[in-house]
Structure 1
Amino acid sequence: MSERPLSHDMVIRSLAMRHWNETVDDARAVDALEQGKVLFLPSLAFPLSTEELTLLTPDLVDPKRKNISFNAQNGKLNGVAQAEKKAQVQALLQRHHDYACQLVSSLLPEYKSALHSPVNSLRLHPITVWRDATSWRKDDTRLHVDAFPSRPNHGERILRIFTNINPHGESRCWRVGEPFPVLAKRFIPRLKRFSPFSSWLQNRLGITKSYRSHYDHLMLQLHDTMKGDENYQQQGPQVTLELPAGSSWICFADQTPHAAMSGQFMLEQTFLLPVAAMKNPDNAPLKILQKLTQRTLI
């Protein structure tokens, strides 16, 4: 596959932030994020107490789950294997959520009032454990854009804030791929046709939590087709990023092709954002896919 190589400058924008509530005078940060770049905060660490450091063990995670998750909106905590540690884990994740909200207020104030459906996670397993024990569709070491199989989001953006909390100084390694408009144009001819009846039936049977729109169908197909293309995984345009312990980064995970290759111990906060709340809605995957297909997708 002959491609113009990507450079680091094409996929990442670095910002010198040391505090989660630090005021940043950089209007271009939002522009870079909405264009699909990773906002990299190399000096933005999440502090852990001595007691919290004892939680950094995979044994804490329910064997039936990939990660521990927490919804700050309803206080629901899932995935903790040790009942006596639940209160401590919830306090940690609540504090992480609060820090993430401070970061949004300081760096992305345009989004503050529109973000919703917060869920954050404590990821304790080495990436290699899940790579070796899962199917190719769930293998996040393959380049992909995020799409929810059971939770259609009808075009809303998936904003994610990541922090490497590895206590041993180990970096997290990511691969980041080509701009979404190029990616979508490449794969659209290969995506399966949308069936409204199939979407209705899956919702009726409880397979999905709501009706899977044409947009959600295309995004899920894009996710699967990318992951299933071995040649694209190896030869497609991509850049490797080393994300050190004590650093944070932000991206729209539904737009930025990414793959987590190595690392262990991370905190991650997810929000949903309506397309209308973006500075430039035309950069949204929904708008790009509608333009390419010449269809209304939601």
Structure 2
Amino acid sequence: MQGYDLTPENTLKELACYSWTQPDPEGSQVTELEKGKVLFLPHLSFDLSAREQVLLDVSRVDPKRKNISYNPQIGRLTGVAYQADCTAIETLLSRHYQSCKTLVTALLPEYQQYLHSPVNTLRLHPVAAWRKSSSWRKDDSRLHVDAFPSRPMHGERILRIFTNINPHGEGREWRIGEDFPQLARRFYPHLGGYSPLSSWLQHLAGITKRRRTHYDALMLRMHDKMKSDEHYQQQGLQLSFQFPPGSSWICFSDQTPHAAMAGQFMLEQTWQLPVQGMKHPEYSPLRVLESLAGKALL
């Protein structure tokens, strides 16, 4: 698999954005994002009030949960350890969600009418802590693309906006891997077949929230194959990058191979995007995998 050069220049696109409401002078960044690049906004910070700074403590997370999550459409907050913190945490996450919506309007205006199912997440644990306590399948310090065992995506994209809110000067260290077409060619021969009956039975038993399509089965197997392949984790094409505190970054996490290696305290906004909402649907994992399979996967 020759011909692909993994460099910061073809992996990240740095934007001179100082405000959540500021359009990029170069115009929409949709094409760069859809090609699999990470949009890096080194000057886009999200300032916390003194009361919100106090919330940056792992004891605020329910011990049974990995993170605190907020669904702004229904006002549902989960993962908070103490009821007394709920109002302040909900206010913080709602404010970040609104800022991210404004940012999409400025940088990715084509997506406004298509994005849905927003979830905002407050990550308080240090990466090193959950690395020690996770199985290999749940260990996000292993290079992977996102795919959810219980939540089939039916080809829809996973768009994420991350913000490092660490108050102690600690960066968020990522490993970033090769582009998705090359990744897919590498793993597709090892992903196995698809059973519609098994998919139907898993949904019937409540294992999945809806039927797992052939596409979902392939993405989930790719996620697992990547994480379980020690040689790939160590020797696969990848580069390391530090996202400093006070910076934000955007990517399609189902397309860009990534692994969180170090850091603590982060805000994360997630949306789903239908393939028909893309400017270049041919870059989507769905279309790339369909080209390899030679057939529709939904």
Q: Shorter-chain TM-score: which interval?
A: over 0.9
Indicate the residue corresponding to 2:171 in structure 1: 171
Please give the alpha-carbon distance, in whole angstroms, between the structure 1 residues aligned to 2:4 and 2:248. 28
What SS does structure 2 have at the residue aligned with 1:161? strand
Q: Residue type of the partner of 2:218? A: L
Matched positions, count: 298
1:137 counterpart letter in structure 2: R
1:42-121 alignment, distance < 5 Å: 42-121=42-121
Structure 1 stretches lacking a partner, 5+ long: none
Question: 1:241 aligns to what?
Answer: 241
Q: Distance in 2 between matches of 1:197 and 1:64?
A: 33
Q: How does 1:1-298 map to 2 (within 5 A)?
A: 6-27=6-27, 29-298=29-298
Aligned residue for 2:288, secondary structure, equals helix
Structure 1 position 229, deviation (Å): 0.4
Inter-CA distance 28–11: structure 2 relative to 1 (3 Å threshold) = farther
Distance apart, 1:193 and its partner CA: 1.3
Counterpart-to-counterpart distance in 2, 1:2 and 1:82: 53
Give the aligned CA root-mean-square deviation in angstroms: 1.2
CA distance in structure 2 between the aligned counterparts of 1:29 and 1:41, rounded to whole angstroms: 12
- Aligned equivalents of 1:30, 1:247: Cα separation in 2: 20
> Residue 132 and residue 2 in structure 1: after superposition, are their counterparts in 2 closer, same or farther (change >3 A)?
farther
Q: Given that residues 173 and 263 in structure 1 are in contact (C-alpha distance below 8 angstroms), is that contact kept between their aligned partners in structure 2?
A: yes
Q: C-alpha separation between the residues in 2 aligned to 1:70 and 1:263? A: 21
Cα separation, 2, equivalents of 1:244 and 1:8: 16
How big is each residue's C-alpha offset from its partner over 1:111-130, in whole Å with a ceiling of 9 and x where there is no partner? Answer: 01110000010000000111
1:41-76 deviations in whole A, cap 9, x for unaligned? Answer: 000000100000000000000011100000001110
Residue type of the alignment partner of 2:196: P
Amino acid across the alignment from 1:183? L
Q: Name segments (4+ residues, structure 1) moved above 6 Å.
A: none
Q: TM-score, normalised by structure 1?
A: 0.98
Distance 2:275 2:2 in 1: 34
Write the letter of the residue equivalent to 2:24.
V
8 Å contact kept, 1:3–1:236:
no
Instruction: Confirm or deny: 8 A CA contact 2:28 2:107 kept in the other structure.
Output: no
Contact 2:28 2:108 in 1 (8 A): no
Shift of 1:29: 2.0
Post-superposition CA distance 1:184-228 (Å, at most 9, x none): 000001112111111101000000000000000000000000000
User: Which ranges in structure 2 are unaligned for 5 or more consecutive residues?
Assistant: none
Identity of aligned pairs, percent?
58
Q: What CA deviation, in whole Å up to 9, does each residue of 1:5-51 have, x standing for no partner? A: 52111110000111101122324621110000000000000010000
Give the match's secondary structure for 1:136: coil
The residue identity in structure 2 corresponding to 1:273 is L
1:30–1:165 Cα change, 3 Å: same
Q: Shift of residue 278 of structure 1?
A: 0.6
Distance 2:23 2:100 in 1: 14
